[in-house]
Amino acid sequence: MLVLDGVSHTYSNGTKALVDASLSLAPGMFGLLGPNGAGKSTLMRCVTGLQVPTSGSIRFNDIDVIANPEKLRAVLGYLPQDFGVYPRVSAYELLDHLAVLKGVTERGPRRDMVEGLLQQVNLWEVRKKAVAGFSGGMRQRFGIAQALIASPQLIIVDEPTAGLDPEERNRFNDLLSDVSSSVVVILSTHIVDDVVDLCSRMAIIVGGRIVQQGSPHDLLGLLAGRVWRSTIAKSELEDMTRAGINVISTRLRGGRTEVHVLSETQPPGTFEPLAPNLEDVYFATLTSERQHRSVGAASKSVA
Ligand SMILES: Nc1ncnc2c1ncn2[C@@H]1O[C@H](COP(=O)(O)OP(=O)(O)OP(=O)(O)O)[C@@H](O)[C@H]1O
Ligand SMILES: [Mg+2]
C-alpha cells in the first residue's frame, strides 16, 4: 500500500507544483491523468524519494519514503519521463550494468534475469545493438525492462506511451498490465485511453491539486445523464458559450464541430443525450477547474 498524506511541493522559484496531495494506492494499476504542467512528474519524483517534498508524508508499506529513500529504492522500479542519454553500449550490457547497480551481484542469477527481461520486452533479437540507436518504442521497452529489474514492488512510469505509435503503445500497455497484478503501478499520462485500457483506479491532477479520484467507473457515474452532444458550424460555438452553455469539449468531425456539453437538463438547440466516456470526465474536470480558478483570480483582483 502506498499512502501519500498532504504532500506539497514548491520549487525554489516559487512554483507550487503540488498542493496537499493525498492518495492511497493498493496493488494494481493506478492512472494519474493531467495536462502538461499539472504536477504529475513532481508527484512521481517525490514518491521515488528522488525529490523531497516541501511538506507531507509518503509511506510505502512500512517504509517512510522521506526518511529512508534508500529503503524504497531497493523495491522501486522507475521509468522517468526523460530517460536521459543513452550510451553507445548494447542493450544487454546496459541492462546488466543497471542490474549490478540495483544490487544483483551474483553472475548466474543476473544473467538469467537480464535474458528473461530482454525476452519479456521483446528486445532479445536486438540485445547486441546499441541502445543509442533504438527507435522511441524500443527505448521505452528498454526503459520498462530496467524498471522491472529485481522484481520491484512499486513501479512508477512517467508518461511511458507519449510518442509511441499505436502498435508500440499497445505492446507497452500489455507488458505493463502483465506485471501489475501483485505490485503497485503508477502510470502518468495525458492520454485518456491509456487509463481506460489499463487502470482500475485513477486520479485527475490539475494545477498541482488532485481534483478527482476513484475508479473510472465511479467517475463516469458522476456524469451520467448530464452530457449532451450536438454538431454545429464552428461559427455557432461562440454564441453557445456566450449563452452560458457549458461546453466541455469540441472536436472537428468531417469539417463540422462536434460539441459536448455538461448540463443538468437538455440544452436549447439540437442536443442529444450521450453516455459519457472518460474523456468527458477529464474535460469536464479541466473545464470546471479552469472556471473555478478564473473566478478565484477575478475575485482576487477585485479585492
Ligand atoms: N525543477 C523545477 N523548477 C521549477 N519549476 C518546476 C521544476 N520542475 C517542474 N516545475 C514546474 O512545476 C509545475 C509542474 O511540473 P511537472 O513537470 O510536475 O508537470 P507534469 O504534469 O509532469 O507536466 P508534463 O505533462 O508536461 O510532463 C510546472 O509549472 C513546471 O513548470
Ligand atoms: Mg511530466
Residues in Cβ contact with 172 at an 8 Å cutoff, skipping those fewer than 6 apart: 137, 140, 141, 144, 160, 161, 164
Q: Which ligand is nearest to the CA of 45?
A: 1
Check residue 303 and give its pLDDT.
Answer: 38
For residue 79, the CA-to-ligand 2 centroid distance in Å is 12
Any ligand 1 atom below 6 A from CB of 209: no
Angle at 244 between CA 242 and CA 249, to 5 degrees: 90
Q: How large is the average pLDDT for residues 58-76?
A: 95
Model pTM score: 0.90
User: Can you tell me which atom of ligand 1 is nearest the CA of 40?
Assistant: 21
Q: How large is the average pLDDT for residues 35-40?
A: 95
For residue 103, the CA-to-ligand 2 centroid distance in Å is 28
Indicate if the pLDDT at residue 98 is higher than 60.
Answer: yes
The answer to which of 105-109, 146-150, 268-272, 294-298 has the lowest mean pLDDT is 294-298
Any ligand 1 atom below 6 A from CB of 41: yes
Tell me if 186 sits within 8 A of 25, measured CB to CB: yes
Indicate if the pLDDT at residue 301 is higher than 80.
Answer: no
The answer to which of 80-84, 96-100, 149-153, 182-186 has the lowest mean pLDDT is 80-84
Q: How large is the average pLDDT for residues 59-80?
A: 95
The dihedral over CA atoms of 63, 64, 69, 74, expressed in degrees to the nearest 10, equals: 0
Q: Whose CA is nearest to atom 8 of ligand 1?
A: 42
CA–CA gap between residue 10 and residue 24 (Å, rounded):
22
For residue 187, the CA-to-ligand 1 centroid distance in Å is 16
Q: Which of 34-48, 171-185, 224-238, 282-296 has the highest mean pLDDT?
A: 34-48
C-beta contacts of 109-116 below 8 A and 24+ residues apart:
113/149, 113/150
The answer to which of 128-132, 235-239, 296-300 has the lowest mean pLDDT is 296-300
**pLDDT classification of 21: cutoffs 50, 70, 90:** very high
Indicate if the pLDDT at residue 266 is higher than 80.
Answer: yes
CA–CA gap between residue 197 and residue 75 (Å, rounded):
26
**pLDDT classification of 162: cutoffs 50, 70, 90:** confident
Average model confidence (pLDDT) across the chain:
91
Give the torsion sign (CA, 67, 52, 184, 91).
negative
Any ligand 1 atom below 6 A from CB of 32: no
CA–CA gap between residue 244 and residue 259 (Å, rounded):
14
| Residue type for position 8 | S
For residue 253, give the 3-state DSSP assignment. strand
The answer to which of 56-60, 67-71, 139-143 has the lowest mean pLDDT is 139-143
| HEC string for 93-141 | HHHHHHHHHCCCCCHHHHHHHHHHHHHHCCCHHHCCCEHHHCCHHHHHH
For residue 38, the CA-to-ligand 1 centroid distance in Å is 7
Q: How large is the average pLDDT for residues 250-268?
A: 92
**pLDDT classification of 235: cutoffs 50, 70, 90:** confident
pLDDT tens, 106-132?
999 999 999 999 998 889 999 999 998
Percent with pLDDT over 90 in the chain:
68
Indicate if the pLDDT at residue 49 is higher than 50.
Answer: yes
Indicate if the pLDDT at residue 78 is higher than 60.
Answer: yes
**pLDDT classification of 292: cutoffs 50, 70, 90:** confident
Q: How many angstroms separate the first and last alpha carbons of the chain?
A: 44
In our burial notation (b when 16+ CB lie closer than 10 A, e otherwise), range 91-111 reads bbebbbebbeebebeeeeebe
Q: Which ligand is nearest to the CA of 34?
A: 1
Percent with pLDDT over 70 in the chain:
96
Indicate if the pLDDT at residue 39 is higher than 90.
Answer: yes
| Residue type for position 209 | R
Any ligand 1 atom below 6 A from CB of 265: no
Check residue 77 and give its pLDDT.
Answer: 94
Q: Grid coordinates 500489455 are at which residue? A: 174
Check residue 293 and give its pLDDT.
Answer: 80
All 3 cell numbers of residue 127? 540485445
**pLDDT classification of 57: cutoffs 50, 70, 90:** very high
Q: Whose CA is nearest to atom 6 of ligand 1?
A: 11
Tell me which fold the domain 2-214 belongs to: Rossmann fold (3.40.50)
Any ligand 1 atom below 6 A from CB of 189: no
Q: Among 173, 170, 180, 156, which residue's Cα sits nearest to residue 29?
A: 180
